Structures are given as structure tokens and as C-alpha cells.
Amino acid sequence: MIDLAAAAACVIALLGIGFRLHQVRGTRPAAGTLYLVAFALCMAVAMAALSPSASAAAHGRPPWALALGLAGGELKIAAQGFLALLALSVEPPRRGRKLMIRQAIGTLTVMAAGAAAFLLAHPTPATGGLYVDPPGRPTLTCYNALFTAHATWCLAVFLLLIGRAARQVEDRLLRTGLRLVLAGAAVGLVWAVLSIGPLLDALTTGHQLTREDRVSATASVLALTLGIGGATLTAWAGLPARPLRRLRAWYRYRRLAPLWAALRTAVPEIAFDAAGAAGGHRLSTDAEFALYRRVIEIRDGQLALRAHLRPEIAERAAAEATRRERADPARLAATVEAAVLAAAVEAAAAGRPGSAAPGGYLPPQMPADPDVEAAWLCRVAKAYECSVTVRRLRGRARAELAAEAGAGPGAE
């Protein structure tokens, strides 16, 4: 189980490195990216060095067992330092540069002092760990104290600075990613504080594990998953959204078909090309572009039909829809717009212009957002096809136009 957790942590770290490098390919990576990659690489190699499999492979070879234990600890210290450098990279350049130099010197000092303390303790390899005689235990405790203090410091710096930066971010997805990163750092901080227990055990008994235990391996997997997942969220979160956007565009494109077909019949020139005019249900490979084009053609049709608008139709539609459907304001507005269009289409088909009076009906103003406009026109298209109010007013407009056409010659 511990081996599996250690392997999972290695894989997560390496996948995070690969994905982040893929993101910045062809460009000069920022300092923060380099620190993130260095952190993940150090953690991946440390987890591999401290895994039970590596410990078992070094069994019976004291120098290798001690080297693996020391290398794993040193790599974790380096990873903690890179995490602090990553946090300091968000500071203003002049101040951040000084703090980063101090942090780098501090991490290198801890690594050197820790390695010296580890070796001066004269540890003896034991099963899955090491044993230190009583004279060397204070020195081993110094090594553990340096490791714990450095980890706590780096994680606290990271939580403080990245947490402050996250509060100033307005983009929801980026803010969520930063919160996941902070959650991973919080898990690491809790693990660092809990490591005081094994530190005291090493002081009193002289025994210390050099391989990962269950708690440490689980904490590493969780922290790496949250941290690297949050750091790359803005990139991979968009991957499943693309097919969903295309599917939604395709669905809306189909929803607009009846309204578009009616307007194209009344005003054939709104179609951008002959193929579009001939095949109203043909969809290009780019569904979002096809939807955008269809929205433009519908709006062009509305403009072309302004000469046939009958202002009184909007008043009738509003009165009847309010009485018949008891609709919410958005549904009522969509029904009115659909009814006015239906009457204009009938007038255009009959060759009758609308009222010559200035003003008239104006459709609701939409924000400059193609997605919002497409969603609104889908409401109008649904009302155009399904609303009882629109159907009644279309029939009434057709009857009035027929009556006017019949009365015209006689009046002359």
C-alpha cells in the first residue's frame, strides 16, 4: 500500500512536470514555472528514493541504505525551498529578488547543516530505517529539527503569500486553482507539524524510519495532487469544456433553424452563401462559427423586415401573452419579439409594407456577447414555433392582410 502511494506521488509529480512543460513549449518559461517544475521533480525523486522498494533493494548494503535516506531528506528540503521561491516570485521584483536570495541561501545552509548532522550522528542501517547510539541522538535530533523547521517555514511563507495573491484574483477558475494549491500546502504544513512525534521518538529510542510510512506517503499524494492539479487547473479545465461548447453550439444551431428558415424565405439575401440558402440544416465543422453566422443572419433578417413591421402587433402580443401565458418578463419579451417577426414575415410574403408612422417596435437590447444573444434568440425561436399567442397573432395578421388585399381593388 505504501509502495503504491509512493508510486502514485511520483507519477503525479512527473505528469505535472510534463504537462506544465507542454504548456510553456516554444516560449521562455517564467521563474515561477521553473520553481514549480523543480519542486515537483525533487519530490518525485525523493519519493522514489524513500519508497519501500528502494529500501528493500538497499537492504544488506549499509552505505546505499544511508545514502538513500540522506538523499531523500535532502531532496525534500530542496523541494520545500523551491516552493518558498515560487511564493516569493509573486512579490514585487526588487523586494522579491532580495527575499529569494535569502531563501536560497537559507535552504542551502539547511541542506548542508542537515547533511553534516546526519553523518555526524553515525547512524546504522536498520530494517526500513536507521538506528543511532545514545551519544549521536542529539545530533540526529538537530537534523530532524532543521528539517521540520525548514518545512514549516517554507509552507507558511507559501500559504501567506499565495493566499494574499489569491484574494486579489478576479478570474474564478484561476482563483479556484490557487485555492487548491493552498489546500495542498495546508496538508503539507499539517504533515510537517505532525512529524514532531517521530522526531521525539528518534531522540528517546534512536530509531528512525528512512522510508515513507503510511501517513507520510498519503500526505504526499494528497498534497501533490492538490498542488499540481491547482497549478495546472486553468489549462486542463478547458479541455472538457471545448466539446461541451461545440455540443451546445450545435444544439442552439438546430433550435434556431425554424426561425432562420422563416426569415430566409421572406428575405433570401440574408444567407451568406448559396449553399447556406439552399441547405438550412447544413452544419459546418466549426459549430460555434456556424451558430455565430446564423445569429448574424437572423439579425440581418430582422433589419430587412423593419419595413414590414406593424407596431400594433407588439401591443397585441404583450396583452394576449400576459393574459394567456402569465409569463415571466423574459418569456413575455421573447413571445412579443416572435409575434412581431411572424407578422412581419406574413406582411413581407403578402408584399405589404407596415405602418409608415415613425418609431415602432424595437427588440430588447442584448449585451455584446454572442453566447448571450444566441441563447436569447433560441427563446424567440421556441416562441415562434410553439407559442399559442404567436400562432393566433400570425393567423390574425394573415387574415387582415388577405382582407386588405381583397378590399384594395374595390377601393380603387
Q: Which domains does the chain have, with CATH numbers?
A: 2-236 (1.20.1070.10), 241-411 (no CATH)
pLDDT at position 204 is: 82
Could you tell me the pLDDT band of residue 358, with boundaries at 50, 70 and 90?
very low
- Give me 307's grid cell: 419595413
Q: How many residues does the chain have?
A: 412
Q: Which of 9-13, 26-30, 176-180, 361-365 has the highest mean pLDDT?
A: 176-180
- Neighbour tally for 226: CB within 10 Å: 20
pLDDT reading at 3 higher than 60: no
pLDDT reading at 282 higher than 60: no
- Give me the mean pLDDT over the 37-61 stretch: 76
- Give me the mean pLDDT over the 342-360 stretch: 69
CA-to-CA distance for 12 and 26, rounded, in angstroms? Answer: 24
Rounded to 5°, angle at Cα 45 from 192 and 200: 30
- Look up residue 306 and give its amino acid: R
**Cβ distance 344 to 354 under 8 Å?**
yes
Instruction: Select from 102, 103, 132 the least CA-distant residue to 117.
Output: 132
Cβ within 8 Å of residue 365, ≥6 positions away: none
Alpha-carbon separation of residue 158 from 77, 85, 258 (angstroms): 14, 8, 56
- CB neighbour class for 297 (10 Å; exposed up to 12, middle 13-18, buried from 19): buried
- Give me the mean pLDDT over the 202-231 stretch: 69
- CB neighbour class for 385 (10 Å; exposed up to 12, middle 13-18, buried from 19): middle
Please write down the long-range contacts of 119-123, taking CB distance under 8 Å and 24 or more positions apart: 119/70, 123/66, 123/69, 123/208
Burial 186-219 (b: 16+ CB within 10 A, else e): bbbbebbeebeebbeebbeebebbbbbbeebbbb
DSSP string, 14-39: HHHHHHHHHHTTTS---HHHHHHHHH
Regarding predicted confidence, which is higher, 76 or 51? 76
Task: Tell me if the pTM is above 0.85.
Answer: no
Q: 22-31, pLDDT tens digit by residue?
A: 655 666 767 7
- Give me the mean pLDDT over the 223-249 stretch: 68
Could you tell me the pLDDT band of residue 228, with boundaries at 50, 70 and 90?
low
- Give me the mean pLDDT over the 278-291 stretch: 65
pLDDT at position 278 is: 40
CA-to-CA distance for 296 and 66, rounded, in angstroms? Answer: 71
Instruction: Select from 301, 282, 379 the least CA-distant residue to 338.
Output: 379
Q: 103-151, pLDDT tens digit by residue?
A: 999 999 999 999 999 889 888 877 667 788 888 888 888 888 898 899 8
Alpha-carbon separation of residue 349 from 11, 189, 408 (angstroms): 67, 74, 17
Cβ within 8 Å of residue 53, ≥6 positions away: 3
> How is residue 363 annotated by DSSP?
P
DSSP bridge pairs for 131: 124, 207
DSSP bridge pairs for 209: 129
pLDDT at position 1 is: 46
Share of the chain above pLDDT 70, in %: 73
> How is residue 364 annotated by DSSP?
P
Q: Which strands sit side by side in the sheet containing 129-131, from one edge to the other?
A: 124-126, 129-131, 207-209
Tell me the three state secondary structure of residue 130.
strand
